[in-house]
Chain A
């Protein structure tokens, strides 16, 4: 993937418990906190019958587009036909699928509600975001396990390089409910969403967008060690920090791997992050660069028994 021209982050959006803005991502969330209330951000209109993941996605999409200067409170500031959407989510519609299955077992198909019909499709979050904000570019839903967030960023970068859109709104979102907790075996799920807006560096410069971070390259490997080796060939080989996968698939990450580089996990109090993680890592890095940090960081997500995604995140060029 090293052949991709660099892409930059020009917007960050959050709909996370204990977070009111990007700065909170650097200092750490104020937890425990009340669940995110999408109606408080968007108003109630258009949220009825939408599942929790879709509501969180709509909420964070608004925040991300606004932050990137692609829309303001009055409406769009850019041509929606040239903006695409990539959503990373593993558990978005698990609740609907489980609930409908129970209904059919107890009441036959006649007991099901037509309101559940759209939510049975896993791409509902991305397509509803496109409809609400009139984003006509490619619309992709990545359901690829723990690496989904970084994979979503990689495919957005690939499509930007192919000229398929001017910007991509990349979102990671996972809802919290009893079905997902049972499936994942976790006490809580993040019940939140993160967005970043990605575009080619030249596009951002042409429209005068504020560049928050640059992604210098992506890796996809079978193990964390191989991933780190690949990242070292793509960018600065001694990063200032390393964002770790949520779980390494049971295997410990060797202590001498990137020895001396500070390792960062996300706060346990958020619970399982899954598809949110990779996008969150980018958002946190952007927050740190906003605050003046200069050293690049490595982001990694995924599991050894599946695949590890990695990215090199850098401060914008020419930052004083």
Chain B
């Protein structure tokens, strides 16, 4: 069983639609920039991967995560020919931080905000007439968790389309707690580099439309499976066996073997422990086939976009499959010993024919989700 992806939409610090983001990734353009919505005096770090859409520089406004989400969902729905009426289409949103940034502005500055704006349902209702909407707060694997639920819902046979989205803006509390924890600001986000110093937050949203049938629409790829589990191990530290289990589950459900996988979009947060555990789990599962897939990651250029990270990686994989170009990991001077055992695409893009891609998403609390997609052929 697999479900066609018939529409995509996205925005991030490096682009306002999927094509623009993909070209930035292939060109090695980073979205890292001086703080736009936060008071520079309050933080050690001076840079984030923000989306530059505030009306007035330096003045933050509520509702930005919701704006990002509506933009991405609108793009994807248009692309799939669904238009603006989503009254019969479930919308499943994965997010790390919901509208917590608006909550902060309400609490600190008295900004206009209400309890039922913490989740995205009312805004999707107002814009698209959507009533079957679900906000899942599943940390950094949230949008791949949402993809798994959409897959299960299509399988249960009750709907024609499901939209899967991810959206996050940066909150002051998450930025501040990360900032305090990092002894010195990482400066750059450097996944798989021996000198990586930690992650840097980013903003973004992505959406895809899954259909029961493609109709006469462009098919970007087909979702074969999503595996999901929980380490049940440690609050902040990832667990190799939990991560490996999620990858194996995705392979089994899709009916693919490691040797069948041509491309892996790694989660790659640039955190010392996370990157190492992810690569070890990959090598454990892929074994003698660890040199088969190309592996890459997007966060050196997009930042860590939390709940939207998974769907942004997925859309990147879809465009890589359709165009035969794999964007590189940037900011890499010296790869770790473990990643060197795999075929890491770094510094410059490579050309490759990708039939099957794997997308990794791992979140705080040991939440793992791994998707397998195949090219539309």
Contact = CB atoms under 8 A, between A and B. Distances in A.
Interface of A: 1-4, 80-81, 84-85, 90-91, 94, 96-98, 100-105, 108-110, 112, 114, 116-118, 120-124, 126-128, 130-131, 133-147, 151, 155, 158-159, 161-162, 164, 179, 183-185, 220-222, 303, 305-308
Contacts of A103: 176
Q: Which of A81, A109, A155 has the most chain B CB within a 10 Å cutoff?
A: A109
B177 A139 contact: no
Interface in B95-114: 96-98, 100, 103-104, 106-108
A98 B126 CA distance: 27
Given A120-B177, A136-B242, A131 B232 contact: yes
Contacts of B96: 121-122
A23 B148 CA distance: 37
Interface of B: 41-44, 87, 90, 96-98, 100, 103-104, 106-108, 115-116, 118-119, 121-122, 125-126, 129-139, 145, 148-149, 151-153, 155-158, 171-177, 179-181, 228-236, 242, 245, 363-367
B149 A159 contact: yes
A96 B172 CA distance: 12
A179 B134 contact: no
A136 B229 contact: yes
A2 B231 CA distance: 32
Contacts, number: 223
A138 B177 contact: no
B121 A307 contact: yes
Contacts of A108: 41-43
Contacts of A138: 145, 148, 228-230
A147 to B, nearest CB: 8
Contacts of A146: 116
Given A97-B171, A126-B365, A127-B367, A117 B138 contact: no
Contacts of A4: 156
Contacts of B174: 120
Given A109-B43, A127-B365, A145-B119, A98 B103 contact: yes
Contact of B118 (A143, A159, A179, A307): A143
A144 B235 contact: no
19 contacts: A96-B173, A100-B172, A108-B43, A118-B235, A120-B177, A121-B137, A122-B97, A122-B100, A122-B137, A128-B235, A135-B232, A145-B122, A161-B152, A162-B151, A183-B115, A220-B131, A222-B125, A305-B126, A307-B121
